[in-house]
Chain A
């Protein structure tokens, strides 16, 4: 085991996989000479050459669309969208092509490809370097959407994503990149796409989260235990689509109380689907109202520090709502 942060775990895993399997190529803006703006592909050009480490033009539609072609013809492309915010020009390729290729061909064609994108706020990214996109693609059947939030999950799920015969949108919360550290096995391992993970066991209430919010929830849950003796179970969603309803519902049925935290705009966010699932399937196991914390319904967080803080849920707010729910 070696302690790594999230970005190093992703870098090392991708490097290992490229060394193991020559079908794997990476493509995107600045992935080559620059080694990626977040340094995920640092040293890749020197190790694997410019045919497999492809600096593309500034054209997100083509980054995804070219990856589709590569996946159709024997390669395993890992496309990088420099910031999740910039995936919108590729929306048609993602929705009309990536998500629908297998379905529309009645199973004749499949797309073993990964699209990586750093997402989320808390880095002074303002309107166009902070967005959450998981709900946009979680709504589209045919694409798997994953949001690993720890070094070990990022590493193990990246391996699963590249192994997967279907397209995976691999979302990396950029605030976690260097903030979150953890032990990562030195030998190759996989964390499956699909199952959620109970990151902290508890008995009094269930908190469901992912990304940066997961870590704020874990922090708040620790305080709640220490200050109030209340025990919160924290479920890490890990895979937005297909959603692991059973783990979430199992925890809610056990604790009888549910809270969902996400930083995306509250309305129609991924958390809305999780809340709806709990309401539909665990209503009579609940001992309190379902609590939902999300970002406000404004287009994005601001650049100014206080505007960014005002947008993002923080550990204090989460703690206060946890306490309220625990006491209900």
Chain B
């Protein structure tokens, strides 16, 4: 059965400096600010479609933080604002995607927002069908191993994805070949409206790992340092040739599935409000205050600074050029000499 993270998650034990912690905190706040701004823009009619992240910042930033830019390969899903920020995407680039601008790094305005991709950053382009990126992660990890590279593949998805046949197929392949991949399940307990009890007969998604011959780990997804600890261990295992790990981070999404969803039809307001008491950002704030790294004035200053910065980036993204309709037929196939 799945294990639970019981290791010492103090930052000293994890080898994180106070500066690291502040960087993690700022990234989580940035994800939240991006989210709130995106919903504001949606209500203003400037952003037709938003996929919210709020509530998931701890598990996203915590797990992504154990990966290394320039070395590792990232396969996020649509809710992973926190992951792509850690991978190196800027808020400006995220808003270029939200506004479907020509310079949207993911797709040049072709895909819906939050369908991430950037070859430069090692973020693999993904589609909308759920879990479709899972076999890609296995294939990339196979190539990493065959080519003898020192790298780890991280693949994120919700618990809903684990119902898909292709999820099983991809994860199973990674177990057979002991591939350097970490599977991260952000379990927010709902596949849009379908509660976990209607998705599976087990309490912990991580238990599925046993069927693939590698460890499954349950972690408090609202505890960013616990998520980091679990991921760091999984990355070490992968780098040491010990194979995959499935990390299940239990969390909650505070907003509807997307801007087109109405979660009042399937979740009580009491349940949502109760979940907000476990807000990963507030919890990390308390932790940092207890550790003497943050104080209330600093919290307010950081929030104000990030908001101002994100607002500037939104302005720039909004005024960027739209895609040229004459490019509609480009990039169906390779253009020019074979790469």
Contacts and interface: CB of A to CB of B under 8 A. Distances in A.
Interface in B131-171: 132, 134-144, 146-147, 165-166, 169-170
B170 A65 contact: yes
A164 interface: yes
B196 interface: no
A98 to B, nearest CB: 11
Interface string A196-236: 00000000000000000000000000000000000000000
B54 interface: no
A12 interface: no
A57 interface: yes
Contacts of A15: none
B77 to A, nearest CB: 14
Given A72-B140, A106-B108, A110-B334, A56 B173 contact: yes
Interface string B110-134: 1100010111000011011100101
Interface in A65-98: 65-75, 77, 89, 92-93, 96-97
A61 B166 contact: yes
A108 B127 contact: no
Nearest to B334: A165
Given A59-B169, A62-B172, A102-B332, A109 B338 contact: no
A116 interface: no
A103 interface: yes
A69 B136 contact: yes
Contacts, number: 143
Given A65-B132, A108-B118, A165-B338, A75 B166 contact: no
Given A69-B138, A92-B129, A93-B135, A109 B172 contact: no
A8 to B, nearest CB: 28
Contacts of B172: 57, 59, 62
Nearest to B335: A107
B142 A69 contact: yes
Interface in B183-234: none
B291 interface: no
A57 B169 contact: yes
Contacts of B275: none
A100 B143 contact: no
A197 B81 CA distance: 51
Contacts of A73: 73, 139-140, 143-144, 147
A178 interface: no
Contact of B332 (A93, A105, A142): A142
B138 A141 contact: no
A166 interface: yes
Contacts of A100: 127
Nearest to B176: A57
Contacts of A61: 135, 165-166, 169
Given A57-B172, A67-B139, A103 B125 contact: no
B63 interface: no
B181 to A, nearest CB: 10
Interface string B61-77: 00000000000010000
Given A69-B138, A109-B119, 15 more contacts: A57-B169, A61-B135, A62-B170, A65-B132, A66-B170, A92-B132, A97-B127, A102-B331, A102-B332, A104-B111, A105-B107, A105-B117, A106-B330, A110-B334, A142-B332
30 contacts: A51-B146, A56-B173, A59-B169, A59-B173, A61-B169, A62-B138, A64-B135, A65-B135, A66-B135, A66-B139, A66-B142, A67-B139, A69-B135, A69-B137, A69-B141, A69-B142, A70-B139, A71-B139, A72-B136, A75-B146, A89-B165, A93-B166, A96-B127, A104-B110, A107-B330, A108-B118, A109-B119, A110-B339, A165-B339, A166-B334
Interface of B: 73, 104-108, 110-111, 115, 117-119, 124-125, 127-129, 132, 134-144, 146-147, 165-166, 169-170, 172-173, 176, 330-335, 338-339
**Closest 10 A-B residue pairs measured CB to CB?**
A69-B139, A65-B135, A106-B108, A62-B169, A73-B143, A107-B331, A66-B139, A165-B334, A69-B136, A59-B169
